[in-house]
Structure 1
Amino acid sequence: MDNRYYLAVDIGASSGRHILSHMENGKIILEEVYRFHNGMTEKDGHKIWDVDRLFEEILTGMKKCSEIGKMPYSIGIDTWAVDFVLLDNDDRKIMDAVAYRDDRTAGIDKKVYEVISEDELYARTGIQKQNFNTIYQLMAVKSQEPDAFEKAKSMLMIPDYLNFLLTGEKVQEYTNATTTQLVNPVTKDWDYELIDRLGYPKDIFGEIKNPGSEVGKLRSEVSRKVGFDCKVILPATHDTASAVMAVPTQKDDTLYISSGTWSLMGTELVSADCSSLSMEHNLTNEGGYDYRFRYLKNIMGLWMIQSVRKEIVPDMSFGQICELASKEQIKSIVDVNDNRFLAPLNMTEEVKRACAESGQQVPDSIAQIAAVIYNSLAECYASTVKEIEGLTHKNYEYIHIVGGGANAGYLNELTANETRKTVYAGPTEATAIGNIASQMIADGKLKDLKDARRCIFDSFEIKEYNPDL
């Protein structure tokens, strides 16, 4: 057993966890040492993230490592994308870290399009429009709190800010930076001409560094608190970018679904596709490890199942729901990407209404509602496969499903049958594994991304689903 440990701090919108890892007989071994709650809070009329509490939770998890005698050689932090912290000249927060679901960006897109058209913006960045992208959030700051830009000296994405608290070093990581919709996909750097046109202060955008770069060592006061010192390494700090790193394939042309609350379905490209046709199909070109582009579409994902479970059967496991759904014959289908399913007051009733409005059978039990959702997701995956194959002019043999949704066996079967592709499901802890892979490559434990993916395939259970012939 290799006694060198690597710590992944993986923070999502609802929870975070510390996953320790080491190599044993050529395989990656994982151990969860700490888990904590996360969530948006209301303050001064805005939905915000309590980033300073998150930092304290990071320190608590690091202390756990010290308590069990497994001090990491390095640590990497990944989180969601698009949200940020503005710091003044004394490195103090100018305002709270407002969350992407806050309504401050309502109608703000029009102000951006007074400067640059939506078509030109996509052609320039390759990033699909989401009203919560950083480009719109910054325009909200400029419009609603103009004094903030007068004071701002740094803009750090959430993981960059947490790294700053750990090390005192301000570093901006590439994969998360691309989600701002302010990075040039050719130069892989900030589009300063666009930033200038929008009236954002140029000097708040620092040097962009790649996953695998070292941020620095722990600040002395942090080291004293946690009981050890270690390197802080940049993983792909955008959680989806880390999850895609863990897709256990040896082929260059592979489809993947990072499956969880959202389903991110796509492939990897060497060059971004910023064409009008790509924009029309609503695909995005987010930055990935080793300058690969995650050419993908956002699909509603298991948010619908999670909501229905919470509403009507909170004590039932997802496995039980899957099993019940697999026995149903209902054929009703809904458009899972319809905005009506983004945040309805009641997901169960919304699914029923959608079926009724389209003249289809209305589901009347958890089994039928789940069957409608799973079948609808599989059909959406199949249509997305056709879109991606048409845009890339490639035929893909396989779909790799990673993340928590890889456990949904019935959905995996439906996906294989609807897409007529072989489906490989797993690993489920993809984001933490991708985070760790970045650290192991940086340390020379793994040679490169291809070697990491081979090792991941050998280390974790991968289930195969073939379409019925």
Structure 2
Amino acid sequence: MRDINLIAVDLGASSGRIVSGEFTKNGPEIKEIFRFGNRPVHIAGGLYWDYMKLFQDIKYGLNMAENEVGALASFSVDTWGVDYGLLSRYGEVVAAPHSYRDQRTTVDLSAFGQLMPAAQLFQTTGVYPQQINSNLQLFSDLRRYPEYSGLVAQVLLMPDFMNYLFSGIAETEYTIASTTGLLNAEKWQWDIPLMTKLGIPTPWFGKPVVGGRVLGPILPAIREEMGLTSPLQVVMGPGHDTAAGLLAVPLMRHPDKPTAFLSSGTWSIMGIPTKAPITNDTAFANGLTNEGAFDGSNLLLKNLTGLWIIQELQREWSLKGDSISFERMTSEADHATSIHAYIDTGADVFAQPGGMSEKIHDYLISTLQPLPKTRGELIRLVLESITYSYRDTLEKIEEAAGVRVEQIAMFGGGIQNRVLVQLTADVTGLPVITGPIEGSATGNLVAQLQVQNMATDDEVQEIVTALSDAKQCLPTAEKEVDTAYRLYKSAIASHQLS
């Protein structure tokens, strides 16, 4: 393959990254060029993404990248799922995109459920009904602002929205569209009867594109503003960061045995690839969902709370003047002894920012569990609770799909937390193969190579293997794990009954 420089714009729910990929005959090299914050902003009772800041940060990052690595061939954007931007018929932004954590949908839950009962919605779309889903968000927006029906001309999910701001081309990518809960589970096209029933205008959405494509060059005005000299094509890759990450994991490209994937970051996403959506009663009862892979195949998975609570604890302590790094938090957890107290990390009480240590304290009191005496014990109980949720989810996935998983491919920023990785192996009793850390960004870069035919399949596989830096973590076979798992499930059940 010829020497080429590509850029991945990887936007997470807490930070964004500009990552360069230099692909030469001497091998691939990726490096982080620029990292910037991405926190939703509270304004007038709403919770919004600061898309203007994101846009500016990406522009600065592209300029920095060109100055550092030279001519850039292309870039692509991947993000979290479900959130979206609204465009007018003039191509203007109608309103700032809401964050999925915004509470405006709460008042519409009942009306939404009456129109589309949860079990029926799951059978239709394959997406488990949740308050964060795009279908409910759009339903709520239209109830609050019925004028949107005439004002809005197009809805773009966040990666498509950002690609549009840079290219002027508004198109819909398949993997991110699959998170909306508006695609038909059998056809993976927009479900017109469902959208009509919910009052969502069908012209708002373009046909989902499978496998990506080149959208076109970056807008001239942006090139001029930032002093860019590169041709810089905007590429539609896998818009959903989960789908992007899977392209960077060697085990998931060519699994040698039944393998579950685990994307670990603010959110944890655990699942397995399947030939078709699984919408049986077991999947629905256990809160599983189906989403699209970049090649158009299916992923049976569950979205779990990942390191969100750990991040919130760090933020809480920092606001009190006690700044602590994630590395120090991991070390304190590693040196702490388990107190065998657990929380349901997915409970609603932990979904909103603020006061996280007090929320954990109240949860433990209400479920008659021991309280941590040190910060390390508190951090450890959160990490243990996360990994027991992994085990519980894995069992449910295996039951719904009728498979027995033999190993876990874990990738994303969470694999830097050695305690979390070892606990995942110990609690599940399975080998955990980690890598890469920048899973979504790496997969984003790999997709650009594929979409633009810049590398053969064999070359792509070599690149993915070289960049994954895979390491294996084996379970330590602690005898107390099964007993602790029963305590975890008992604590969860106790809180649900309280």
Deviations 1:389-433 (A, max 9, x none): 111111111111111110111221121121110011221111100
In the alignment, which residue of structure 2 is the partner of 1:243?
245
Call closer, same or farther: CA 1:307–1:55 in 2, change over 3 Å: closer
CA displacement at 1:6 relative to structure 2: 0.9
In the alignment, which residue of structure 1 is the partner of 2:493?
none
CA displacement at 1:290 relative to structure 2: 0.6
* SS across alignment from 1:108: helix
* SS across alignment from 2:221: helix
One-letter code of the match for 2:263? S
Call closer, same or farther: CA 1:191–1:8 in 2, change over 3 Å: same
One-letter code of the match for 2:279? C
Determine whether 1:264 maps to 2:264: no
Deviations 1:259-314 (A, max 9, x none): 11111111111201112221110011011211122211122111122222333475
* SS across alignment from 1:290: coil
**Residues 19-418 of structure 1 correspond to what in structure 2 (within 5 A)?**
19-25=19-25, 27-68=27-68, 70-225=70-225, 226-249=228-251, 250-251=254-255, 253-312=258-317, 314-327=322-335, 328-343=337-352, 345-418=354-427
Of 301-310 and 229-238, deviating more is: 301-310
Q: Is the 8 A contact 1:78 1:236 kept in 2?
A: yes
Q: Is the 8 A contact 2:317 2:324 kept in 1?
A: no
Residues of 1 paired with 2:330 and 2:14: CA distance?
23
Call closer, same or farther: CA 1:42–1:370 in 2, change over 3 Å: closer
Name structure 2 gaps, 5 residues minimum: 478-498
CA displacement at 1:43 relative to structure 2: 3.5
Deviations 1:5-36 (A, max 9, x none): 11101112332221110224564311222222
Deviations 1:44-90 (A, max 9, x none): 44222232332222222222233335222111011222122222221
Name structure 1 gaps, 5 residues minimum: none
Residues of 2 paired with 1:93 and 1:365: CA distance?
48
Deviations 1:192-218 (A, max 9, x none): 121122222121111211243111222
* SS across alignment from 1:215: strand
One-letter code of the match for 1:369? L
Call closer, same or farther: CA 1:394–1:79 in 2, change over 3 Å: same
Residues of 1 paired with 2:462 and 2:283: CA distance?
31
* SS across alignment from 2:95: coil
Residues of 1 paired with 2:126 and 2:189: CA distance?
13
Of 333-342 and 392-401, deviating more is: 333-342
Call closer, same or farther: CA 1:283–1:56 in 2, change over 3 Å: same
Residues of 1 paired with 2:420 and 2:48: CA distance?
34
Residues of 1 paired with 2:25 and 2:469: CA distance?
16
Residues of 2 paired with 1:151 and 1:91: CA distance?
11
Of 312-321 and 244-253, deviating more is: 312-321
Call closer, same or farther: CA 1:44–1:31 in 2, change over 3 Å: same
One-letter code of the match for 1:294? L
CA displacement at 1:375 relative to structure 2: 1.8
In the alignment, which residue of structure 2 is the partner of 1:424?
433
Call closer, same or farther: CA 1:44–1:307 in 2, change over 3 Å: closer
Deviations 1:83-134 (A, max 9, x none): 2222222112222222222221113132223322211110000111221211
* SS across alignment from 1:299: strand
Of 421-430 and 12-21, deviating more is: 12-21
One-letter code of the match for 1:122? F
Call closer, same or farther: CA 1:254–1:445 in 2, change over 3 Å: farther
Q: Is the 8 A contact 2:407 2:431 kept in 1?
A: yes
* SS across alignment from 1:228: coil
Percent of aligned positions that are identical:
29
In the alignment, which residue of structure 2 is the partner of 1:465?
473
RMSD: 2.1
Aligned length: 468
